[in-house]
Amino acid sequence: VMTQTPLSSPVALGQSASISCRSSQGLVHSDGGTYLSWLHQRPGQPPRLLIYKISNRFSGVPDRFSGAGAGTEFTLKISRVETEDVGVYFCMQSTHFPITFGQGTRLEIK
Amino acid sequence: QVHFIQSGAEVKRPGASVKISCKAFGYSFSSHLLHWVRRAPGRSLEWVGWINSDYGVTKYSPKFQDRVTINSESSANTAYLDLRSLTVDDTATYYCAAGTTKGRGAFDLWGPGTVITVSS
């Protein structure tokens, strides 16, 4: 089970946001990798990959986005929030079967 | 440019079945696992299953195991999701997705989604 907090995050433009994701079991795979990703979904669009394997930023993702963590605790940080960052953020684990997602965190501009 | 195109929206009665498709362009299905993920209104993302088109191997979430089939036509570079015994709880947008460049769990390619509405 993947538990995200907070479920809603109102943030002022230019400020930072942080989203936590806790797994009910460790996410280190037998091959040594930790398969924890972060996705962003805007209304009416499919999800898009931001971060993979905890902290690797996908190509084209601004360096305002950073991922960190280990074991069962992971964090996505968004620095200098912009209007395009609104939407829902999901953590996803693919270490264990079945693949599971967090509940989602809705980022909004206040 | 690599992308997926999915079939159009469907409206079904409870108890019916639905089959939707996902066609790849600029990308060979046989290269990676092809996943199906859904998102119901107001809910989170939910993984349905995957197919390895090279070997015809599939893996399904236990939640859907009894009523889902994923298959593919390699010659058409198309995958299909067949979901049976529909209930109103199956109302959702269904996405095909794949990890094409960064390996396991890094779903970097997503289809636009197919809306399935189940209503009496």
Q: Which two tokens stand for residue B77?
A: 């570079």
Chain centroid offset of residue A36 CA: 9
Can you tell me whether residue B75 is helix, strand or coil? helix
**Number of residues that make up chain B:** 120
Rounded distance between C-alpha atoms, residue B94 and residue B18, angstroms: 12
pLDDT at B105: 85
Which residues have C-beta within 8 Å of that of residue A60, sequence separation ≥ 6? Answer: none
Specify whether the CB–CB gap between B40 and B26 falls below 8 A.
Answer: no
> B9 — contact with chain A (CB < 8 Å)?
no
Minimal-distance CA residue of chain A relative to B106: A52
Predicted confidence (pLDDT) per residue in A16-69, tens digit: 999 999 999 999 999 999 999 999 999 999 999 999 999 999 999 999 999 999
- Closest CA relative to residue A91, chosen from B56, B105, B25: B105
Mutate to test the interface with B, among A52, A93, A100 (most CBs of B within 10 A): A52
Q: What is the DSSP code (8-state) at residue A31?
A: T
pLDDT along chain B (120 residues), means of 10: 96 98 89 94 97 94 98 93 98 96 91 98
pLDDT at A89: 98
Minimal-distance CA residue of chain B relative to A36: B105
pLDDT at B28: 83
Mean pLDDT of chain A: 97
The rounded percent of chain A whose pLDDT value lies above 70 is 100
Q: How many CA atoms does the CB half-sphere of A51 hold within 13 Å?
A: 27
In angstroms, what separates the C-alpha of A19 from chain B's closest C-alpha?
A: 15
